[in-house]
Structure 1
Amino acid sequence: MAERKPYEILREVADVFDDTVPNLYRMLARSTVALDAFVYFEQTLERHGCLARDEQAVVALEVAMHNKCNYCRGVMTKEARACGVDDSSIEAVLHGFEPDHPRHRLLVAATRRLVAESGCLGQAEVALLKERGLAFEELLEIIAVVAAFTLATYANNLARTRIDPEYR
């Protein structure tokens, strides 16, 4: 399989963002592998994920907060709002609290546990999450969102990526 060129990947990104390329992608373009991996992760989650877009956004916002990434915090706050997440849920995640929305509260709690335990949840905890409405498949998808946005947050923190005006 031929390696894609950064400009080809950035063209795809620009098509999604109304002919602009957010600074995250410009920064990731310094490594074609990192850029391609992140874009592929995002596209796969968006097109084939079992979690709804608002649910993925809440999980990604929690990852941004956990990893202390101001860039992703701004982006995911805007994304969560665009997906219909209410301001009280967003503010709760931004301040380390649990959202009022029951499904978002469950997702944030599961994300926090998966991150804190590096995925090592006991069978009883997995069963309890299932009983509360999170299937094993959804737990795996939360891990995929964590992985994608850990790539983004770590890279942004390393590069100190300038936050685009629309995400401030």
Structure 2
Amino acid sequence: MTMGEETPVSSLILPVLVRPILSQLERRDVTATQTLRAAFTKAEASNPGVTYDFVVGILEKGELNVNMNESILRLQGSLTDTDVVEHRLTRSEDAFQELNRKSATLKKILSRIPDEITDRKTFLEIIKEIASAIKKLLDAVNEINGYIPGTQGKRALEGRKREFVKFSKLFSNTLKEYFKAGE
């Protein structure tokens, strides 16, 4: 990955790795933490992926070999509601809160992949859970469609839904290839 390139992993480094660390640091020094949080947020907004590059640079300097995909997947499932507040819908209607719950459930299931991928039987069960969670999440997205005013908002929601379905299919195909290679 090149400097500033945005990938799913690079876009998760700030909210999944850095922000929870800053939240813990905030207990010691609120002002410094707020300054760091603002700097990371501003840098990431103007140069997506820079936080990823920063973390990778630290890992390389420390000569640490870390699988970033696996680490972020694990961390994503361990985040608390306060850690992910910026990625949660704030509308109070039940449909939006249900979407928050379905999203959190899917993330928790996905976070189990690194631990279970070597146990074929358990991993196949997780795949079934993932498929079910994706279906429930898409149902929740369809529920909120009625709350979205105007055609532009509905189109944007449909576009995001199509993108989610596309990446879900890509994920499914990757799993199929993984199992074919392992047979």
| Common fold: TM-score over 0.5 | no
Larger Rg: 2
Between Structure 1 and Structure 2, the one with more helix by share is 2
Q: Identify which of structures 1 and 2 has the higher relative contact order when contacts are C-alpha pairs closer than 8 Å and 6+ apart.
A: 1
* TM-score of the aligned structures, taking structure 1 as reference length: 0.32
